[in-house]
Amino acid sequence: MDCPESDSLLSGFFRLRGAAMFTYVLYGLAGAGLAISFYKDRGKTKAALKKAWRAFENILPQFLSILVVIGLALAILSPQTITNLLGTRSGIWGVLAAAIIGSITLIPGYVAFPLATALLKNGAGYMQIAAFVSTLMMVGIVTLPIEIKTFGKRAAAIRI
C-alpha cells in the first residue's frame, strides 16, 4: 500500500537522522583535532582550552538572560498573537514592526538565530523574521551612543 503519511514520517526521520549524523561528524572532527593538538603541544592546547572556557564564561550570562527573555516572551505571547503580529498575513506592517523591533533590540548574533527559529516555529513569517534579524544585526539604535563616542557621528551614521 502507498501511504503518504508514512512516507512523510519516514523522510522526516531520515532528515533528522542525517542532521544528527552531521552534528556527530563535526563533534568527532573537533575531538580529533583537539587530540592531535594535545599530542603535538600539551601546553598550548591547555592554554587554548582555558582561554576558550573564559570566553564561554563571559558569554554565558548574556546567553542565559536572553534565553529567559525568549522563554518569557513565548510564554506570554501565544502562537496566535505572534502569527497576528509577525505572521505571513501581517504583510508590510509586520515587516515594519519586525524591522523596528530589530533596530532597537540589543541581542548578540548567537542568540538572534535561535530566537528567529523559535519565532518561526510559533507562527512568524519568513519575510518578517528576515527583516527582524537583518535590522537586529545591522542597525543597532541602542548601541548608537557608544558607536558615536568611539567612531564619531559620521562613521556611526554610515554604518547604520
Task: Tell me if the pTM is above 0.75.
Answer: no
Q: What number is the average pLDDT over the span 63-86?
A: 75
Cα–Cα nearest to 95, from 61, 59, 57, 134: 134
Percent of the chain at pLDDT above 90? 21
More confident residue, 113 or 50: 50
Cα–Cα nearest to 98, from 114, 74, 82, 76: 82
What the block records as the C-alpha cell of 27 is: 563533534
Does residue 147 contact residue 140 with C-beta atoms inside 8 Å?
yes
Q: Any idea where the domains of the chain sit in the sequence?
A: 62-159
pLDDT of 19? 65
What the block records as the C-alpha cell of 111 is: 542568540
More confident residue, 36 or 153: 36
pLDDT of 1? 47
Query: In 3-state terms, the chain is what percent helix, strand and coil (to 5)?
Result: 85, 0, 15
Q: Which of 13-17, 65-69, 130-134, 153-157 has the lowest mean pLDDT?
A: 13-17
More confident residue, 50 or 82: 50
